[in-house]
């Protein structure tokens, strides 16, 4: 048997190791090829195509390559359209309410639930709306909100409280949609917050109690800081979902009212505007421009959140 000096043996070992590593990497890339191709075809290509047609006037009925190139005209037209501006205002206000009211409310409810020994039933009750499709929630609430036949006004009348036209009044329509949105998303936000609260070690609270902290101080000085990663997650997820609100608005306003997004565009939102532009007006170029603007808005806002809240990576208990 041939004997090799140690140096050569070690070199041979490293060659074998890197050959093995290279073969291993080749296999890994081969396995990754399928999802990469899938990603390119179904994610990257549609995004690129959408950006491409946002600079053209295309109605989907003719080949896209013969459509007229219009430069930034679609983007300019969008910002001149009062309905787009209304949709942007409504979507922003809806999102703000979800983030500034819905999330804090879910955290408070999660903390209160964590204090109860037997809370499974309540957690269930809060969570159930989250598993119902938003379109169905919208259709049911449209009936509840009906000014003549709806139970809300019937109960208010019974107790001699003032009633409202709710979805049928331009002043209260978007607020009515927002209320339902907060209600529908409360469950999942509570569940995530609750799981975050449960992860906080109890000994921190015990130590705080020994030091004479009351519940309010414990909440602000222990619970909230340690829930920061959860809050960040909730804010980003709710930001993305709220900006893309569509099915809830269609469910609430798409039945008896003059067009979903009514009355008089008081519940018009960005995705609904984009949908109408694409499929009612057959202006795919303009709709793609709206999609790209929405993407930029979400991307920018998410980065701002991550930078603001993500600074405290090193903070731990």
**Nearer of residues 130 and 255 to other proteins, judged by Cβ:** 255
Q: For the CB of residue 264, give the shortest distance to other proteins in the complex, in Å.
A: 5
CB of 256 to other proteins, least distance (A): 5
**Cα–Cα distance, 141 to 191 (Å, whole number):** 23
Least distance to other proteins from the beta carbon of 114, Å? Answer: 43
Is 283 a residue that touches other proteins (CB under 8 A)?
A: yes
Closest contact distance (angstroms) between CB of 202 and other proteins is 53
CA distance 41 to 37: 6
Whether 139 and 255 have beta carbons less than 8 Å apart is answered as: yes
Measured from the Cβ of residue 165, the count of other Cβ atoms closer than 10 Å reads 17
Taking CB under 8 A as the criterion, which residues in 187-246 touch other proteins?
A: none
Query: Quick check: 163 binds other proteins (CB under 8 A)?
Result: yes
Q: Which of residues 9, 36, 258, 303 is near other proteins by CB under 8 A? A: 258
Kindly tell me which of 148 and 203 has the beta carbon lying closer to other proteins: 148
CB nearer to other proteins: pick between 235 and 249: 249
Tell me the C-alpha to C-alpha distance, in Å, between residue 198 and each of 69, 110, 114, 313.
56, 9, 7, 20
Comparison of 226 and 250: residue with beta carbon closer to other proteins: 250
Distance of alpha carbon 176 from alpha carbon 3, whole angstroms: 85
DSSP state of 57: E
Q: Which two tokens stand for residue 152?
A: 């809300």
Burial classification of residue 174, based on how many CB atoms lie within 10 Å of its CB (0-12 exposed, 13-18 middle, 19 or more buried) = buried
Is 96 a residue that touches other proteins (CB under 8 A)? no
Q: What is the C-alpha separation between 168 and 142, in angstroms, rounded? A: 10
Is 90 or 265 the residue whose CB approaches other proteins more closely? 265
Contact set for other proteins, span 41-80 (CB under 8 A): 59-62
Rounded to whole angstroms, how far apart are CA atoms 129 and 125?
A: 8
Which positions lie near other proteins, rule CB under 8 A?
Answer: 59-62, 83, 146-148, 153, 157, 162-163, 165, 168, 170, 255-259, 262-265, 276, 279-283
């Amino acid at each position: 048997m041939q004997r090799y000096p140690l140096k050569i043996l070690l070199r041979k070992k490293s060659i074998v190791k890197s050959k093995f590593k290279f073969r291993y990497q080749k296999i890994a890339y081969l396995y990754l090829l399928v999802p990469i191709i899938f990603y390119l075809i179904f994610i990257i290509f549609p995004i690129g195509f959408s950006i491409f047609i946002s600079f053209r006037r295309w109605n989907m009925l003719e080949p896209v390559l013969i459509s007229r190139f219009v430069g930034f005209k679609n983007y300019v037209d969008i910002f001149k359209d009062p309905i787009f501006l209304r949709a942007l205002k409504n979507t922003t206000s809806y999102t703000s309410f979800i983030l500034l009211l819905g999330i804090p409310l879910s955290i408070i409810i999660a903390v209160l639930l964590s204090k109860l020994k037997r809370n499974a039933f309540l957690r269930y009750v809060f969570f159930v709306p989250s598993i119902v499709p938003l379109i169905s929630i919208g259709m049911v609430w449209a009936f509840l909100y009906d000014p003549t036949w709806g139970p809300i006004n019937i109960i208010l009348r019974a107790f001699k409280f003032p009633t409202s036209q709710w979805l049928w009044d331009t002043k209260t329509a978007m607020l009515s949609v927002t209320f339902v949105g907060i209600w529908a998303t409360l469950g999942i936000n509570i569940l995530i917050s609750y799981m975050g609260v449960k992860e906080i070690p109890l000994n921190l609270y015990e130590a705080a109690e020994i030091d004479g902290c009351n519940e309010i101080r414990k909440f602000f000085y222990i619970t909230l800081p340690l829930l920061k990663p959860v809050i960040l997650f909730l804010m980003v997820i709710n930001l993305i979902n709220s900006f893309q609100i569509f099915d809830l608005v269609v469910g609430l306003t798409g039945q008896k009212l003059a067009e979903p997004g009514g009355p008089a565009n008081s519940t018009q939102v960005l995705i609904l505007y984009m949908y109408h532009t694409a499929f009612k007006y057959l202006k795919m170029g303009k709709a793609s421009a709206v999609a790209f603007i929405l993407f930029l808005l979400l991307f920018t806002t998410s980065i701002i959140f991550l930078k603001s809240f993500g600074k405290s990576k090193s903070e731990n208990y």
